[in-house]
Amino acid sequence: MNPPTVTVHDSTLRDGQHAVRHQLDADQIRAYAAAADTAGVPVLEVGHGNGIGASSRQVGLSKTDDATMLTTAREVMPHSRLATLMLPGWATSTDLRSAIRHGVDIVRVAAHCTEADVTERHLGVIRDLGAEAQGVLLMSHLAQPEDLAAQCQRMVGYGAQAVCIFDSAGTYLPEDVTTRITAITTAVDVPVAFHGHNNLGMAVANSLAAVRAGARVLDACARGFGAGAGNTQLEVLVAVLERYGHPTGIDLRLVAQAADLAERTLMPAPPTIDSTSLVSGLAGVFSGFKKPVLAAAERAGVSPWDVFVELGRRRVLAGQEDLIQDVINTLTPTSMGERP
């Protein structure tokens, strides 16, 4: 049998925002979106790191408003489909209507891995507005495979035309991905997607495991640009898929050039797996906690490693950044050099 086609969903201009505190401007967005379109990237996701409507003091004020980001990308993408993300509680139906009016083709509605019910209304609105509706389960390592499958079934019942699980903490090993994607693909009859983070250096391997288990959509970012240790590295993923014979429709040389552009113009430096990113993955804590944990731990004179371990024990979620200080208040100040 011929290897199946894999659709690569590029979230450089959305997930990458976490790495720069949501400070990408219109010129940066325009240049990368044009390069990704030229390379044949089929889907480009754009927006605040936490999705449309999320710009706030709690999770970060965006330098560029949602409408400007979306229209800027849309203008230079004659071939690629434009996607965005929304989280119920941040975004509203008004935000959805505005995004679709500004050219969005695909909207992903994201919820915690056990809370698919909150996506029902928004998935219906997206379908009614004529865009493609996709459902996303965040922090998916906190649910068992059969529970994820049941949650995905609910989202499909609400109108999701594809479902995706995020390894939000970068904690999976390939066998973890295999069991979850297998359960989901057995339970639903829509495309299944996988979104990897690289805290344990496994993002590309985990993405390949997802394809072998039946996923047909993979998320990635140029140079891995994303929170913490970053995401699945786009140009590496395309190269690996090509080696295995999976068609993507992406020109490898041109997407590598787009990644070079991203490194020069979007990020202070490519993501690396430092000790903080490593413990984030081991503890199962969302990668976006890295910068606020480092800042708060330094002010308090405590080890960020200890903070992450305790946050993991408490099974914290994105949006619960206020718990960082609660954890720090339970720790004894220590030399920052004593532990990673």
So which residues are the catalytic ones? 18
For 246-308, give the DSSP string: ------HHHHHHHHHHHHHHT-SS-----HHHHHHHHHT--GGGHHHHHHHHHHHT--HHHHH
**For residue 94, which amino acid is it?**
T
Burial class (CB in 10 A: 0-12, 13-18, 19+), 188: buried
174-177: long-range contacts (C-beta < 8 A, 24 or more apart)?
A: 174/202, 174/205, 174/206, 174/208, 174/209, 175/209, 176/141, 176/206, 177/206, 177/209, 177/210, 177/213
Q: What is the pLDDT of residue 77?
A: 98
Residue entry with tokens 């499958």? 149
pLDDT for the residue 262: 98
**Interatomic CA distance for residues 222 and 213, integer angstroms:** 24
> Exposed (0-12), middle (13-18) or buried (19+): which is 36, by Cβ within 10 Å?
buried
- Neighbour count for residue 189 (Cβ, 10 Å): 8
pLDDT for 340 equals 47
Look at phi and psi of residue 47 and say left if phi exceeds 0, alpha if psi is from -120 to 50, else beta: left
Q: What is the pLDDT of residue 68?
A: 98
Residues in a beta bridge with 194: 165, 218
CA–CA separation, 38 and 228 (whole Å): 28
The full 3-state SS of 114-127, as one line of letters, equals: CCHHHHHHHHHHHH
CA separation for the pair 201, 197 (Å, rounded): 8
- Both tokens assigned to 230: 């970053």
Q: Is 225 exposed, middle or buried (0-12, 13-18, 19+ CB in 10 A)?
A: buried
Q: Which residues contact 110 (CB under 8 A, 6 or more apart)?
A: 51, 85, 86, 87, 119, 135, 136, 137, 138, 166
- State the burial class of residue 309 (Cβ atoms within 10 Å of its Cβ: 0-12, 13-18, 19+): middle
Segment-wise mean pLDDT, segments of 10 residues, the chain, 340 residues = 94 96 97 98 97 92 98 98 96 96 98 97 96 97 97 98 96 98 98 97 98 98 94 98 98 98 97 94 89 91 94 87 91 58
Going by the DSSP 8-state scheme, the letter that residue 155 receives in this structure is H
Place of tokens 């989202």: 155
Q: Which two tokens stand for residue 102?
A: 């500004």
